[in-house]
Structure 1
Amino acid sequence: MSLYEPIESTDSRRHLQLRSPVTLETTGELICASREDVAAAINRARAAQPAWAATSMKERSAIVERALKIVLAKQDQIIDTVVEETGKARTDAMSMEIFSVADQLCYYAKNAEKFLKPHKRKVHGLLGLMKQLRIVYKPLGVVGLITPWNGPFVLVMNQACQAVLAGNTVVAKGSEVTPYSAKLAEDIFREAGLPEGVLQVLLGDGETGAAIVRGGVDKVSFTGSVATGRKVAMASAEQLIPCTLELGGNDAMIVCADADLDRAADGAWVGSCMNTGHYCCGTERIYVVKEVYDEFLKLVLEKGKALRQGSQHGWDEDVGAVFWDRQMAIIEAHVEDARAKGASILMGGRRNPDLAGLYYEPTVITEVDNSMDIMVLETFGPVLCIQKVDSEEEALQLANDSEFGLNGNVWTQDKEKGYRLAAAIDTGSCSVNDMALSYGIPAAPFGGRKNSGLGQVNGKKGLRGYCHEMPIVIDRFGGKMQNGYPYSTKSAEGMRKLMDLLWVKTPLGKWMS
């Protein structure tokens, strides 16, 4: 039984019947925006963009600050909507969809003006005596934003906030699995005073998203699968528009011999099972040096016994439902492939037989290696795969032996060693003595290496990524152009002597740089 199924309709739009991952009961009907609906939304965004770009940063930031207050005032409604559509644990909904959103809104409202303020930049060498360089950050225009089902509210709010603060208008689409969680972003920003047409969140499926990508927007920000990300990249290249792609992950955890094992075991569970394991920076491979392997595994298994699953636990639930039946199929296939190839399932390894919905038991697997799908592909579920290694060097080699490179974490009480190992991991970001935190720190640019993505979002770099960084060169003094026509042998010889003076006979050029 699928969580969304096509149903007959009397109009030209696609209609989907939605179901709850917690109960599998019907929850409503989704009417997907058509290609014509997308075109109309982009036209509205295009018409609204010049006036929005003309507003002051103080006006824009004030709207974001009001949105922050609305999020906090309506947090229970937001959590209820997200949990109804995803089945995630309520605490995961609060931390990811409320706290993280509030923190990001606060950060960008406070810092956007500073990050995007026009500024002077020094011109080096002799040219600096005659020219002045100013940098202006100009909005790109209309941004297409495509977000997935695992963070249905936070991923729209965060990227839309950055795009509109930069002076763009946004046409967004959340997943068909979680459409109304995404739609909340438009409702909240409109209530905060965002003008009509500046942020539109459309309801729809993959065809709706494709229409946005191909609909004439000026940039695409996409979060989702590698396969779809490639299609977005190709469409963007054909249109010569920029895109950022935040794609899959298969993040590694390295446990050194001197790690605080109790904390590391806690980190393994949270890193692997937070949000039911449905986040791109989830820990999927755990490499433990042989000296502490047995003790670490013992602690993991002891702590796993206390985990609670099921909506009947309310705020005390630790691991929620699998958000999508298609993801459940992937989790089950990867675990069964590992089992068939000789892995040991020490805990879980099956659907929870006591719950009616899409619940997969928190799972611990050992005796794993890279012949198994679960170690080389993205599983995106509440599964801990633990592999014994002879040394930290072997752990680092295995961590880098992946087509993915989004995040990772290293556990050691020697912070300098942790820093060196983290820097050596070929990944977009890394944490030391904690699970993946980089997306939750707004100042940190976030993006992946290899198949995990293209470009970076968040922080100063992410905000500026929604702009064209335009250099303006201004002549200081006027007068005759030194390099003007007519050219002559005399002027060429003068240039040659100047280059000798700057970079051959004296260190003058280096001094002036």
Structure 2
Amino acid sequence: MGIFTISDQGYKKTLTLQSPADLRVVGNYDCASHEDIKSAVTKSRMAQQAWSKISLENRVELMHRVIDVIIENQDHIMNVVMEETGKPIQEAMSMEIFSAIDSLAFYAKRAPKWLRDEKRSMHGPMSFLKKTKVTYKPRGVVAVITPWNGPFILSINPTIQALLAGNSVIIKPSEVTPRSGKLVEDIFLMADAPQDLVQVIIGDGLAGAQLIDEVPDKVSFTGSIATGKKIAKQCSENLIPFSLELGGKDAMIVCSDADIDDAAKGAVIGSCMNAGQYCCGTERIYVVEDVYDEFVEKVVHETKKLNQSSEGFSDIGATFWDKQLDIIEDHVEDAVQKGAHILVGGKRNPTLKGLYYEPTVIINVNHQMKIMTDETFGPVISIMRVKSENEALRLANDSYYGLNGNVWTQNMNKGMNLAKAMETGACSINDMAMSYGVNEAPFGGIKQSGLGSVNGKEGLRSYAHAMPIIIGKKSASSYPYTEKSFKDMKGALKFFWGNKFLRRIWG
């Protein structure tokens, strides 16, 4: 039996879920049928029509009520997440509760400014004739399809933004963490959100496909590259706007002038946080040979101090999904067979009942190994010696992923130059990847790591249609075309753009 199983009785499907922490059954759920999904979309459209007429101030007030509900129910939320994922309580708090409240407060404060009508200055001859305003109109029903590695935050964060923009939301959480996703619907109802404004449908991948078949007005997806491509194809058939936040294989570059103590600690938490199961986790580390031995020694020292347990304040939790554990083992075994050397860990934890993989340090790795090219998604610290920062940059960019990265140096100019040269959606200097948690910043990948941006002003506005309205008292053009109208246009062309000085003014 896997972590989840779906049984089909013909008239309905039932999902049975085990906890990866101790393998006990923690839930049985009825899966949504196609008719259930159709009904949910119909209800969502009706709820959205009413919600779109609600003032932005009242939408903001809902977010503050949700904050209060989460604070009051934080222990329950953490318990549900930990039961479904096996993550430590500190990470359940920081990644799920703290981040959710931070996003709610952040967007509640800024949405009135970022979504209000915006005046745009006209240029050239049109500046005498017209004015432009851009209004941000809701898209309608937003489908949010979420993964299992951050099951509560990755469900509620896009929901917050979509609702503030005037949309309704249907969430389809991962089969691995259905109850964590369902919490979002429960919490909004507890905060007196309108009925059907936020709904959750539980099911397998087919349920997600059926949801998109009902033609929502936007799809927000976080998950694997393979599923992301399927969603992109399905959305394109009906021209549904979509965003894809997909996998990563983030590179860390350690320069010869880096603070090695700090870099070693950053490598350990960047690789092992959430048991390595987050899309912008550090998965490849390139260390300039001048400081390689010192760096490896300190990483080994820090890794050996980590506590892995199913109880109390553990540092490293469970692997959330049995199939992911198989991938981690395969990558490590492949690396060892090709010459890599394990300094710490390298196996399942034999003292724990659940799906626990020991925090692992592995060296003598190269790009012929899966562990340096494919997403591992586990608590594995893979370190490669390089001759120079240029070689590190070349190898960092030698990937079909491009989500995030980090550079470690005490020279900020060097750090900026390396960060800009990395082929990633974002980069940090002297810290692990942080951009998803920085709400001011847009978050999105390049290459195979995604399409579009979430978060920040750009992400919030992506849940709205930016509609320009051009305002004027009279038409700027009319028939008939005459020799005079043609000469007038040529004269205007010469006046506004024929002179280089005036061109800079009117352009």
Please say whether Structure 1 and Structure 2 have the same fold, judged by a TM-score greater than 0.5. Answer: yes
Could you tell me which amino acid in structure 1 is paired with residue 79 of structure 2? D
Percent sequence identity is: 54
CA distance in 2, matches of 1:423, 1:438: 15
Q: Structure 1 residues 482 and 239 mapped into 2: Cα distance closer, same or farther (>3 Å)?
A: closer
Taking the TM superposition and a 5 Å limit, the aligned residue runs for 1:290-309 are 290-309=289-308
CA distance in 1, matches of 2:27, 2:106: 36
Q: Cα offset for 1:284? A: 0.1
Q: Cα offset for 1:317? A: 0.2
**Does residue 442 in structure 1 map to residue 439 in structure 2?**
yes
Q: Structure 1 residues 389 and 200 mapped into 2: Cα distance closer, same or farther (>3 Å)?
A: same
User: 371, 381, 405: which is aligned to 1:384?
Assistant: 381
Q: Structure 1 residues 506 and 340 mapped into 2: Cα distance closer, same or farther (>3 Å)?
A: closer
Q: Deviations over 1:258-281 (max 9, x none)?
A: 111111111011100100100000
Q: Indicate conservation of the 8 Å contact 2:308/2:317, yes or no.
A: yes
Range 204-213 or range 459-468, more displaced: 204-213
User: 412, 429, 433: which is aligned to 1:432?
Assistant: 429
Could you tell me which amino acid in structure 2 is paired with residue 361 of structure 1? E
Could you tell me which amino acid in structure 1 is paired with residue 4 of structure 2? Y
Helix, strand or coil at the partner of 1:320: coil
Q: Indicate conservation of the 8 Å contact 1:335/1:349, yes or no.
A: yes
Range 498-507 or range 171-180, more displaced: 498-507
CA distance in 2, matches of 1:155, 1:77: 18
The equivalent residue for 2:498 is: 504
CA distance in 2, matches of 1:406, 1:264: 20
Helix, strand or coil at the partner of 2:91: helix
Could you tell me which amino acid in structure 2 is paired with residue 151 of structure 1? G
The equivalent residue for 1:35 is: 34
Range 207-216 or range 399-408, more displaced: 207-216
Taking the TM superposition and a 5 Å limit, the aligned residue runs for 1:178-189 are 178-189=177-188
**Does residue 58 in structure 1 map to residue 67 in structure 2?**
no
Could you tell me which amino acid in structure 1 is paired with residue 444 of structure 2? G
Taking the TM superposition and a 5 Å limit, the aligned residue runs for 1:309-324 are 309-312=308-311, 314=312, 316-324=313-321
Q: Indicate conservation of the 8 Å contact 2:124/2:496, yes or no.
A: no
Range 457-466 or range 185-194, more displaced: 185-194
The equivalent residue for 1:215 is: 214
CA distance in 1, matches of 2:401, 2:7: 37
CA distance in 1, matches of 2:427, 2:77: 30
CA distance in 1, matches of 2:8, 2:225: 31
**Does residue 332 in structure 1 map to residue 329 in structure 2?**
yes
Q: Deviations over 1:293-319 (max 9, x none)?
A: 00000001111111111113x1x2000
Q: Cα offset for 1:482? A: 4.8
Q: Cα offset for 1:290? A: 0.3
User: 465, 471, 496: which is aligned to 1:474?
Assistant: 471
Q: Structure 1 residues 7 and 27 mapped into 2: Cα distance closer, same or farther (>3 Å)?
A: same
User: 347, 351, 356: which is aligned to 1:350?
Assistant: 347
Q: Deviations over 1:471-511 (max 9, x none)?
A: 00000x43xx4520111122112211221222224633431
Q: Indicate conservation of the 8 Å contact 2:324/2:377, yes or no.
A: yes
Could you tell me which amino acid in structure 2 is paired with residue 7 of structure 1? S
The equivalent residue for 1:464 is: 461
The equivalent residue for 2:147 is: 148
Helix, strand or coil at the partner of 2:124: coil
CA distance in 1, matches of 2:457, 2:54: 20
Could you tell me which amino acid in structure 1 is paired with residue 486 of structure 2? A
The equivalent residue for 1:483 is: 477
Could you tell me which amino acid in structure 1 is paired with residue 18 of structure 2? R
Q: Indicate conservation of the 8 Å contact 2:129/2:476, yes or no.
A: no
Q: Cα offset for 1:89? A: 1.2
Q: Indicate conservation of the 8 Å contact 2:496/2:506, yes or no.
A: no
The equivalent residue for 1:361 is: 358
The equivalent residue for 1:406 is: 403
The equivalent residue for 2:367 is: 370
CA distance in 1, matches of 2:448, 2:8: 38
Q: Indicate conservation of the 8 Å contact 1:502/1:510, yes or no.
A: no
The equivalent residue for 1:12 is: 11
Helix, strand or coil at the partner of 2:219: strand
Q: Cα offset for 1:350? A: 0.5
Helix, strand or coil at the partner of 2:39: helix
Q: Cα offset for 1:110? A: 0.6
CA distance in 2, matches of 1:430, 1:75: 31
Taking the TM superposition and a 5 Å limit, the aligned residue runs for 1:110-125 are 110-125=109-124
The equivalent residue for 1:454 is: 451
The equivalent residue for 2:274 is: 275
Taking the TM superposition and a 5 Å limit, the aligned residue runs for 1:153-168 are 153-168=152-167
What 5-or-longer segments of structure 1 have no aligned partner? Answer: none
Could you tell me which amino acid in structure 2 is paired with residue 301 of structure 1? V
Helix, strand or coil at the partner of 2:394: helix
Q: Deviations over 1:416-444 (max 9, x none)?
A: 21111111111000111111111001111
Q: Structure 1 residues 118 and 23 mapped into 2: Cα distance closer, same or farther (>3 Å)?
A: same
CA distance in 2, matches of 1:498, 1:154: 55
CA distance in 2, matches of 1:240, 1:420: 38
Q: Cα offset for 1:345? A: 1.1
CA distance in 2, matches of 1:255, 1:169: 45
The equivalent residue for 2:127 is: 128
Helix, strand or coil at the partner of 1:405: coil
Could you tell me which amino acid in structure 2 is paired with residue 207 of structure 1? L
User: 468, 473, 486: which is aligned to 1:492?
Assistant: 486
Q: Cα offset for 1:30? A: 2.0
Q: Structure 1 residues 152 and 484 mapped into 2: Cα distance closer, same or farther (>3 Å)?
A: same
Q: Number of matched residues?
A: 507
Range 489-498 or range 120-129, more displaced: 489-498
The equivalent residue for 1:81 is: 80
CA distance in 2, matches of 1:258, 1:179: 46
Taking the TM superposition and a 5 Å limit, the aligned residue runs for 1:219-258 are 219-258=218-257
Could you tell me which amino acid in structure 2 is paired with residue 285 of structure 1? R
